[in-house]
Structure 1
Amino acid sequence: MTDTADAEPEEAPAFVVPDWLVAAEEALAKQRLEDLGARRRRAEGHALMINNRLERLGITPEYGAAVDDSDQLRPAKLVGPDYEAGTYEVRAAWDEASRTPTLLTADWEADRPEFGFVGLLRSAGDVAEARRKIPEFPEPTRDLHREALRGTQRAIYTSDESAQAICERIDNLTIAVLHLAEAIAQA
């Protein structure tokens, strides 16, 4: 009988990365770099188009549109807020849908000002008009699926047995309705 306490543990074989996986990892890294470069070039192109439009309109921004360190477009700041006159800061950004520079403002009286669309940049007059506009944000769409699941999870924790039975039936109906909605959406 051998003493297992003195036996040396067997070494696990070293993991060898197969050649096909090395090639796939290199291709993925190359694709990611290309994607980052394309995103930066697109943002740089948008910044250039915004700055060119400002120049054509004779608008000298406080700072022009540029690309930040994370390859995102930084809108041009056209004019700051005037608290005494009650006007808002105006920025020029790019709208992919209309393929044109747009004007953004934010309500400086809000707890957390958020910039939003107030118009297109077609003239210096549009900037003057935008200074007086508060952006209107669409109501966020409700995620009924998430709300229903959250409701069913809350119902699980009731201590009343008859209420628990009702909740289970409601849960089953909710699941059936959600399944039907998904099936209709996929059809």
Structure 2
Amino acid sequence: MRREFLFLSILVPGPDHPKISLDVFLQPLIYELQMLWEHGTEAYDVSCQQNFNMRAVLMWTISDFPAYGMLSGWTTHGRLSCPYCQDNTDAFQLRNGRKSCWFDCHRRFLPSDHPYRRSRTLFTKSKKVFDAPPPEIDGYTLLEQLRDFGANRTPDCGGNGHEHVYGAGEVHNRHKKSIFWDLPY
């Protein structure tokens, strides 16, 4: 495979980032991925010297945390910003300034016999961590959450015109249903 086909970059024109409306720019990509998954395309295998039907799938995206929020529909700021912990977070507000803080919230993901879990001096003063990490959430559970909270897709509500999603910032941090849920896999 040639190098120019290894990465897909999306450059959005204009001085402002698209915020929630990034899905509008992804619609052609999602459409093509759906076609390649359902019908495939004719390709030639040089080693076997024959044609075959090649299908394509989007396996993952690599992005920074703010871009993850735009792609996934999970708000990446506030007390519930961790997509793994969700409402099982140990985040707290700083006394002066009332900023959310996640310092020392993820030691519970370390193995139970890890020395950092027992350390009272390297992290929050005189605190040991014995909690188990929250259970990992699968795709079916996430889809049920999206249905329950009533999150809309960006193309359905017209750009950044999203309404407030029930429970956002209190129980969860979802603000939209990502366009990636339209993919059949």
Structure 1 length as normaliser, TM-score?
A: 0.22
Which structure would you say has the larger Rg? 1
Greater length-normalized contact order (CA 8 Å, ≥ 6 residues apart): 2
Question: 1 or 2, which has the higher helix percentage?
Answer: 1
